[in-house]
Structure formats: structure tokens, C-alpha cells
Amino acid sequence: MTEKKQPEAVEGRRERKRRQTRERIEQAAMSLFMERGFDATTIEEITEAADVSKRSFFDYFPSKEEVVFAWQDSFADRLMAAIAARPSGESAVKTVEEALTATVMASADERALALSDLIHCTPALKARDQLKYAKLEQKLTEALIARKGGEPEIRARMRLLSAVVIGALRVGGELWQERAAGVSMETFARETFGELWKTLAEFGDEAKGRL
């Protein structure tokens, strides 16, 4: 017997208009940020470029900063989907490396790279950027526990793995700004993971020597 497919949710007219308005605000804001810089761009200029009222802007975004970081929620969602799609018998370490590398690659378009540079060069955004890693760590932990089970020991191990991997992602993001010319995103990601696993193994050997 074949399983019936659930009907896909149909986007209503109201939802479509809201999505289109949100996207229009994001696009107008990002264009202005790239052209003039974040600090030099006002909300009034964004609303004029997007052809919306200031009130409409605040219906979607509480601040200019939230426009910049709107993409982070979608990154976390894509990462969780990539984790869930990995083979069920795969090790947690392999799952994390493959899913995170794939998500980074899928998100590394021209806009995302330009956005990364904007954040790196804007102190107010750079400070706010650190909050995303706490969210990513929580999401990654939830996705891994959903795959591996919720027993206390497994939960603790998955939390530790998530903390280590997201810490490496943060360091990798900083090192990416200092990378040598011509290094591809995938090569950089693989090298970062390779260095992570090697370092953890070395720390493990050092810890055994203390016992």
C-alpha cells in the first residue's frame, strides 16, 4: 500500500504579500548598506527605496541590525534539514562535518559573502554577530539529539559536540577574512574540520597522559 502524500501548504494572498514586502525591504536595505555602509544608511532611506512606510518597516524588523541578521535563521533551518537528511547509521562527527560544509557552501553566494565583509567591517554588527553562534549551537544540538536519541548521556555528548563545532565555525569565520587569495570555500571548510579533529585528538592524548 502506498502512503498518501500530505498536500503541500498553499501560500495565501496575504502571506504572499507579506513575504514580498519583507523581501523588498531586505533587498533595498542590503543594496543601501553595500553602497553607503551600514552606519550611513537611515531607516527612512530604506523605506523610501522599498516604497513602504516607516511603520511597515517596524512591522517586519525592530531595527536595522535585524535586517542584516535575517538570513541567520534561514541558515540554521537549512543546517537542521541537512542534518536530518544524512544517513541514519552515520557517525555524529561525519554527519556534522558533511551537513555543515554543505550548508555553508549552499549559503556562500555573492550576497552572503558581501554581507560577511560588511559585518566584519562594522563594529556594531560584529558585536551582534556573536549572538548567532549561541542560536546555531542550540539548533545543532536539537538536530543531533533528534537523530541519536534523548538519553542523558547522549544528550550531553551531542551538546559537547555542538559546542566544539560551533566554536570552530566562529574561529573559521574569523580566519576566512584572513585567508590566502584563491582558496575556495569548500577547501577552507574541509581544512578547518581537519584541523579541528586533529587538535581534539591531540588534546585527548594529552588528557590521557594526566590520568
pLDDT at residue 208, as a whole number:
81
Task: pLDDT band for 94, please (50, 70, 90 cuts).
Answer: very high
Where do runs of H (alpha helix) occur along 86-184?
A: 92-107, 110-121, 123-129, 131-148, 152-176
Q: Where are the domains positioned within the chain? A: 13-64, 69-210
Q: What are phi and psi of 80, to 5 degrees?
A: -65, -40
Local structure of residue 63 (DSSP, 8 states): S
| 33-90 tens-digit pLDDT | 989 999 999 999 999 999 999 999 999 999 999 998 876 677 888 899 999 999 988 9
Task: Specify the 3-state DSSP secondary structure of 59.
Answer: helix
Does the pTM surpass 0.85? The reply is no
Using the predicted structure, report yes or no on whether residue 13 has a pLDDT greater than 90: no
Local structure of residue 151 (DSSP, 8 states): -
* Burial of residue 27, with CB atoms counted within 10 A of its CB: 0-12 exposed, 13-18 middle, 19 or more buried: middle
Residue of higher predicted confidence among 183 and 32? 32
CATH superfamily of 69-210: Tetracycline Repressor, domain 2 (1.10.357.10)
Return the closest-CA partner of residue 65 out of 20, 109, 127, 21: 127
Mean pLDDT of all residues belonging to the chain:
86
- Asked if residues 49 and 35 have their Cβ atoms less than 8 Å apart, the reply is no
- Asked if residues 94 and 83 have their Cβ atoms less than 8 Å apart, the reply is no
Here the cell at position 51 is 516604497
Question: The CATH number of 13-64 is which of 1.10.3720.10, 1.10.10.60, 3.40.228.10, 3.30.390.30?
Answer: 1.10.10.60
| 171-187 tens-digit pLDDT | 888 887 777 677 788 88
Residues of the chain with pLDDT > 70, as a percent, come to 92
